A and B are shown apart, each in its own frame.
Chain A
Amino acid sequence: MMDHHQKDGLAGAVREALLHAVTHLEPSLMARLDWMYRETMSATEALGPDDGKKDRYEASLEVLAMIRENLAIADATGLPMCQDTGMVVAFVEMGPDVQLSMQEIGEALDSGIALAVRDGFFRNSVVLDPVFDRENTRTNLPAVVHWFPKNSGGLTIRMMLKGFGSENCSALAMLNPTAGVETVLSTILDMVRNAGGKPCPPIVLGVGLGGTAERALLLSKKALLREVGSVHPDPRYARLEQQLFDSIQGLHIGPGGFGGPLTALAVAVEYEPTHIAGLPVGVSISCWADRTAVVQWGGAQ
């Protein structure tokens, strides 16, 4: 009985977190959007009347203004901010204080997602098989779930609603072990340049370095789940994040792809050990509607 209670409670917490995420961005991301709006406005106002950049900057500023209006409407109406309510990607971290089994957690997660999809008027965006029938599951299930052990505390579920306009811009490169930081930088910049206006810029960039091919891409999602604007604890990787952030602005993709002065809202890099013969680089891009949610369940933190 105890477990039934816990399961229902966890499902309810997942539902609540997703209903909030589909209509609201995290305060740190809202602050970044405000920053970009102010900066883009000053840059636009600073242009002379005949400046060739005027059209591009004004259109970019219009995109940022519409995003603000859209977020206000989503807040007021409870409508999803974007009709692509995505596929749920969940990182489940299990500490020693967790009293539920993996199966129970998985079931609670599924039912929490199904409830949010129904109550939040999500779009049914998941199909059963990728190649042949592509039959819609009508529940947005299954989610993509990754399981991790944790040394202390209870259960932490980090989720994102991953839209596919941006997910289709994901990329992997297997670099030489001697590539070095310059090649890592230029490889990632090429990936972002190729994505261009397609992933609904302004973007949040997640980069995964090391591991194996699939691990690098997983790390890039882990990076996207970090709080927007947080800095990597290793100063070398923190510098890499800053270099990427600055260089992406230099690509002049701009909001909506219109060529404005700023494109990146934030960059996060995660790394892990890798093989002597390789340097995997995984990249995941999030649109500005970078919808994330965290559920803590049981234990301290």
Chain B
Amino acid sequence: MRREIRLPFDPGTISSLEAYDRVLLSGTVLVGRDQVHQRLSRLLQDGKDLPVPLQGETMYYMGPSATPDSMVIGSCGPTTSARMDRFVPALMEAGLVATIGKGPRSPQVIEAIRRHGGLYLIAFGGCGALYATKVVSQHILAFGELGPEALVRLEIRDFPVIVGIDSRGNSVFA
């Protein structure tokens, strides 16, 4: 019932996925939310290098709770994607292929996904404890001073999502 997919995405996998497909992701993703998006966008606008290349990457909209000693990460469910909408076209232009978050997206995001052949994946809102058990490792890539809002690299295993917008621009929120 659930399709298992390795990250990073290859183009063939992306085009084979359709809205509502249930997927288990394994591999690495970037993690960033409001402040990271603002900073990455400014760097792109100023023509400067990004702390990490976005080519082929998947961005998870998330800011974790504190990490208990015995665990890899604290509670780590998705945040509302809509707040990141205005940054998406530029980041996809820079190579980002997929985003993971919760809730609906703007028509501009749907159009960017269609144009670049990308994906929007929906993680289960509020299920932070569950997602903590799907994270294998994390390390901070940049903006550590932002605390829970830093840019982070996450390795995940069997991380459950549903395809929200597929590469043809079909959306579950239509």
Contact = CB atoms under 8 A, between A and B. Distances in A.
Interface of A: 23, 55-56, 58-59, 62-63, 66-67, 69-71, 73-74, 77-85, 121-125, 136, 138, 163, 165, 168, 196-198, 200, 256-259, 287-289
Given A79-B74, A123-B75, A198-B82, A59 B162 contact: yes
Contact of A121 (B22, B68, B102, B104): B68
Given A123-B66, A198-B104, A256-B102, A81 B126 contact: yes
A200 B66 contact: no
A81 B128 contact: yes
Given A59-B162, A121-B66, A256 B124 contact: yes
30 contacts: A23-B129, A55-B20, A56-B172, A59-B172, A66-B160, A67-B124, A70-B124, A70-B130, A74-B129, A78-B68, A79-B71, A80-B128, A80-B129, A82-B75, A82-B126, A82-B128, A83-B128, A84-B63, A84-B77, A121-B68, A123-B63, A123-B64, A123-B148, A124-B66, A138-B147, A168-B80, A196-B173, A200-B103, A256-B162, A257-B103
A250 B135 CA distance: 37
Nearest to A288: B126
B133 interface: yes
Interface string B112-156: 000000000010111111101100000000000001100000000
A103 B110 CA distance: 52
A259 B172 contact: yes
A34 to B, nearest CB: 16
Contacts of B41: none
B132 A77 contact: yes
Contact of A198 (B75, B80, B133): B80
Contacts of A168: 80
A166 B132 CA distance: 22
B76 interface: yes
A125 B162 contact: no
Contacts of B162: 59, 62, 256, 258
B22 A83 contact: no
A62 B133 CA distance: 18
Contacts of B160: 66
- B22, B65, B82 interface centre (most CB from chain A within 10 Å): B65
B interface bracket (residues with beta carbon within 8 Å of A) = 35 or more
B36 interface: no
A66 B65 contact: no
Interface of B: 19-20, 22, 62-68, 71, 74-77, 79-80, 82, 102-104, 122, 124-130, 132-133, 147-148, 160, 162, 172-173
A83 B62 contact: yes
Contacts of A73: 129-130, 132-133
A287 B173 CA distance: 18
B124 to A, nearest CB: 4
Contacts of B129: 23, 70-71, 73-74, 77, 79-82
B79 A165 contact: yes
Nearest to A78: B68
B126 A287 contact: yes
A85 B133 CA distance: 18
Contacts of B22: 59, 62
Given A73-B133, A121-B68, A124-B147, A66 B127 contact: yes
Given A198-B82, A259-B172, A70 B128 contact: yes
Contacts of A121: 65-68, 74-75
Contacts of B133: 73, 77
A70 B126 contact: yes
Contact of B130 (A66, A124, A198): A66
Given A70-B130, A83-B77, A124-B148, A200 B125 contact: yes
A63 B63 CA distance: 20
Given A82-B77, A122-B65, A123-B63, A197 B102 contact: yes
Q: What 9 A-B pairs are tightest by C-beta distance, nearest first? A: A200-B125, A123-B65, A70-B127, A83-B128, A83-B75, A74-B129, A70-B130, A121-B66, A66-B124
A84 B68 CA distance: 16
Contact of A200 (B64, B74, B126, B130): B126
Nearest to B162: A59
Given A67-B127, A123-B66, 13 more contacts: A79-B68, A81-B75, A82-B127, A83-B63, A121-B65, A123-B65, A124-B66, A124-B147, A136-B147, A165-B125, A196-B103, A197-B103, A197-B104
